[in-house]
Amino acid sequence: MNSPYPPYSPYPTDAFFKCMGDPLLEVNSVVQAPISMTALSFLSTMSAAVQRIADVQLPMGQVRPVSLFTLAIADSGERKTTLDELVGKPLRERDAVEERRFAEQLAKYEQDMERWQSTRTALIKRYSRLVEKGEATDKIEKKLAELDDAKPRPPRLRRLLRQDLTYAALIVALEGDGESTFISASEGDAALKSDLIQQNFTALSMAWSGESIVADRADKGRTAINPRCTLSVMVQNAVFNQFMEKRGDVLRGSGFLARCLITRPISMIGHRFAFSDPPQWKHLDAFHARLRCLLEEGDLRLAAGVPRHILEFDEEARHRWVLRANEVEVMLRDGNYFGEVRDFGAKLMEHVARVAAVLHVFAGQDGKITVDTTERAWTIVLFHAEEFRLMFSPSLEIPQAVVDAEKIERWLLANVWLRGFAHVLRNHVHRTGPVRGLGRFVPAIDVLVGQGKIFVTQANSKAPLVIGLNPNYFGVPHPGWECQNFCV
């Protein structure tokens, strides 16, 4: 896997409709998390609600779930948990109501079972006495059969949001026909060590595709028919790198990673500043209201046994989707854009269809998916396709010194240039900057000097080394600097 470095372009937040784009930017301005991670939190939350009420029909005729898998590779402290709690607040409220309902139904079930068992015990005793006397048992047997048919059924806890990344938990959540779940995990180390990822990730892949999952006898023969599953995971860079060294070939070869919209953003840690005024949610409340409506519709459909409706593309959107699919197919050739990441390229247009369906439903659009919505989805997915390329294309792997040089450059911009200085002690940069250890620090400085971005001077042989910032470079905005807020 390649070393992290910033994407070539900023995240396309304008590809979202206003009803989701405005709250996305509002939340991001308050939480100050990486923008791509905020976007994935919104996409995952919307997917969790929409997957319960709609499927999407690809222009080629196949019907697919709209469920999304997202993977954010970022260090601890990037505030994913805060993001998810803010964005997905109605999910937690809905689950809290469901848990109270379940507790009430469980208490009633236990009472009903006690009465049922008492009645059955009495009938069994009467049956035994009749058998001992050699009398007819037809009436008792009929009553026993009727009683068995009327046996109380235990209630089911339909919690939508789950954090347990185990195979058993997945099967319990999806057992039955058409059940849905949203697995959200912020502790990537535990997630990658779970049996679901280590041994049973094929079950997740099957859930993404909506395929039935048949558990073994150890799980009481449970079966998940036509399941729907949204997945959102954040994992630390170091943990993910170690995991990829051991299991990367399997995860890539199985197509699991290609099913994920991935981001590995530049860290915002050290560039987030508190404000004295409490946040004013002008747009998030409306987003939550729409989310609650969709969650309620999903519950009503499930209770009434109403199947998900199937979304289709209109004629213009269908032609555009096919045009894009043909473009992607050419990109899969050796030496072309997706030539080294064919696994993701092969699923890219299905990602587009799923994201388009999520945007369409959440925005409350009527009828079929339009070409405008399709292009919005294309733009969003293409950003994550580029992230996938940057991470996994062998030809894009860059030396560690260049990666470290990028980190130091951004540190110099934020902590020296934007604070009104053009010179800084080299030792100070080494001690307080983002790259420690002379074995990595010195080569990175050499890279920046070679690029003409800085110069290193020394007044005399005993004087400390001083880094000077080239004003012809730092005085001009450059692509990529807008990916991070540099507050002073």
3-state secondary structure the chain: CCCCCCCCCCCCHHHCCHHHHHHHHHHHHHHCCCHHHHHHHHHHHHHHHHCCCEEEECCCCCEEECCCEEEEECCCCCCHHHHHHHHCHHHHHHHHHHHHHHHHHHHHHHHHHHHHHHHHHHHHHHHHHHHHHCCCCHHHHHHHHHHHHCCCCCCCCCCCEECCCCHHHHHHHHCEECCEEEEEECCHHHHHHCHHHHCCHHHHHHHHHCCCEECCHHHCCCEEECCEEEEEEEECHHHHHHHHHHHHHHHHHCCCHHHEEEECCCCCCCCCCCCCCCCCCCCHHHHHHHHHHHHHHHHHHHHHCCCCEEECECHHHHHHHHHHHHHHHHHCCCCCCCCCCHHHHHHHHHHHHHHHHHHHHHCCCCCCECHHHHHHHHHHHHHHHHHHHHHHCHHHCCCHHHHHHHHHHHHHHHHCHHHCCCEEEHHHHHHHCCCCCHHHHHHHHHHHHHCCCEEEECCCCCCCCEEEECHHHHCCCCCCHHHCCCCC
Is residue 211 over pLDDT 70?
yes
How confident is the model over 444-451, as a mean pLDDT? 93
* CATH C-level class of 13-96+158-396: alpha beta
- Record: fold of 400-483: Arc Repressor Mutant, subunit A (1.10.10)
pLDDT, averaged across the chain: 87
Going from N- to C-terminal start, the domains of the chain cover 13-96+158-396, 400-483
Q: In the structure, what pLDDT confidence band is assigned to residue 318 with cuts at 50, 70 and 90?
A: very high
Tell me the residue type at 50.
Answer: V
Q: In the structure, what pLDDT confidence band is assigned to residue 79 with cuts at 50, 70 and 90?
A: confident
| Cα–chain center distance at 243 | 18
Predicted pLDDT of residue 483: 44
Q: In the structure, what pLDDT confidence band is assigned to residue 349 with cuts at 50, 70 and 90?
A: very high
* Count of residues making up the chain: 488
Q: What residues contact 354, with CB distance under 8 A and at least 6 apart?
A: 47, 56, 64, 65, 66, 67, 68, 377
Q: Which residue has the higher pLDDT, 371 or 246?
A: 371
Is residue 286 over pLDDT 90?
yes
pLDDT tens for 177-209 read: 889 999 988 766 677 777 777 777 788 889 999
How confident is the model over 69-88, as a mean pLDDT? 85
State the Cα–Cα distance between residues 3 and 266, nearest whole angstrom: 12
Six-digit token string for 121: 């015990």
Q: In angstroms, what is the C-alpha Rg of the chain?
A: 28
Predicted pLDDT of residue 313: 97
pLDDT tens for 159-180 read: 888 887 788 888 888 888 889 9
Predicted pLDDT of residue 485: 41
With CA atoms as reference, report the closest residue to 46 among 361, 313, 369. 361
Helix 315-331 and helix 371-392, axial crossing angle in degrees, nearest 10: 20
Residues of the chain with pLDDT > 70, as a percent, come to 92
How confident is the model over 242-267, as a mean pLDDT? 83
Is residue 486 over pLDDT 50?
no
Is residue 100 over pLDDT 80?
yes
Is residue 487 over pLDDT 50?
no
Q: Which residue has the higher pLDDT, 393 or 411?
A: 411
Question: HSE on the CB side for 162, CA within 13 Å?
Answer: 23
Predicted pLDDT of residue 395: 72
Burial of 100 (C-beta count, 10 Å sphere; 0-12/13-18/19+):
exposed
How confident is the model over 141-151, as a mean pLDDT? 90
Predicted pLDDT of residue 484: 44
Is residue 359 over pLDDT 50?
yes
Instruction: Give CA torsion, residues 468, 472, 475, 478, to 10 deg.
Output: -110
Predicted pLDDT of residue 387: 92
Q: Which residue has the higher pLDDT, 224 or 215?
A: 224
Is residue 42 over pLDDT 70?
yes
How confident is the model over 127-134, as a mean pLDDT? 87
How confident is the model over 105-113, as a mean pLDDT? 91
Question: HSE on the CB side for 460, CA within 13 Å?
Answer: 1
Q: In the structure, what pLDDT confidence band is assigned to residue 218 with cuts at 50, 70 and 90?
A: low
Predicted pLDDT of residue 310: 96
How confident is the model over 453-462, as a mean pLDDT? 91
